[in-house]
């Protein structure tokens, strides 16, 4: 249902997602635009790669929090709680924050791929399934060192996790989970080609922090 409240919540979720954490941290604390270095992506992974853990960890946490808080904005509309429409509102608000992260109004619409913000959305909607997916991410990362491959593995596994392990039957959540997998694969096309050519950069969880 389109109401003034829901429209305002949608705008708020987009603006929340638009906070360009990677860009602001790089510029204000390191005098660097991370979009001009490394992979050129305004996301936590590139911040880790370019600036190290001291910058990467807070960027990661804030980007996750953006997605989580955007979904929680739905609780302002108490009339819908406990209904399918409430779940759908949560999904829409989460997607608005994701759009904000990828196309941030505060950073010339040049954002990141949205993996961390997407994680926040999933944590708010399906926390147990999110933890299983995070486990897959960590296993693949520890085994290969590729963040991109780990992200894609976790995303592709997510629909299977919610359908076959947690028996989720809400149609909108199932569609959302499938769209997550497709979106992550689409946004990682360049990474896939680099993986095929064995040119993808690896990360080390244990390398010495910069600064």
CA distance 131 to 109: 30
pLDDT for position 207: 55
Backbone φ and ψ of 12, nearest 5°: -60, -40
User: Is the overall model pTM greater than 0.85, yes or no?
Assistant: yes
Could you tell me the residue ranges of all domains in the chain? Answer: 4-196
pLDDT for position 79: 77
CA 165 to chain centre: 22
**What is the token pair recorded at 37?**
């270095």
The answer to whether the CB of 174 falls within 8 A of the CB of 162 is yes
**Other Cβ atoms within 10 Å of 118 Cβ, number:** 27
pLDDT for position 205: 61
pLDDT for position 210: 45
- The pLDDT tens digits for 6-62 are 999 999 999 999 999 999 999 999 999 999 998 888 999 899 989 999 999 999 999
pLDDT for position 137: 96
What number of CA atoms fall less than 13 Å from residue 123's CA on the CB side?
17
Residues of the chain with pLDDT under 50: 209-211
CA distance 173 to 189: 25
């Amino acid at each position: 249902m389109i109401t003034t409240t829901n429209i305002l919540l949608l705008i708020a979720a987009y603006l929340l997602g638009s906070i360009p954490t990677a860009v602001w941290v790089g510029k204000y604390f390191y005098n660097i635009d991370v979009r001009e270095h490394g992979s050129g992506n305004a996301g936590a992974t590139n911040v880790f790669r370019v600036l190290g853990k001291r910058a990467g960890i807070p960027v990661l946490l804030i980007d996750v929090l953006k997605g989580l808080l955007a979904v929680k904005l739905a609780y302002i509309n108490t009339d819908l709680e406990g209904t399918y429409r409430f779940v759908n509102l949560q999904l829409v608000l989460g997607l608005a924050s994701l759009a904000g992260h990828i196309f941030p109004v505060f950073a010339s619409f040049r954002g990141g791929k949205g993996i961390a913000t997407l994680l926040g959305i999933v944590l708010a909607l399906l926390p147990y399934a999110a933890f299983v997916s995070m486990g897959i991410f960590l296993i693949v990362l520890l085994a290969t060192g590729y963040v991109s491959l780990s992200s894609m593995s976790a995303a592709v596994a997510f629909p299977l996790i919610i359908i076959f392990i947690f028996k989720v039957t809400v149609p909108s959540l199932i569609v959302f989970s499938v769209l997550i997998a497709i979106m992550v694969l689409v946004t990682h096309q360049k990474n896939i080609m680099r993986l095929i050519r064995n040119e993808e950069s690896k990360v080390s969880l244990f390398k010495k922090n910069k600064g």
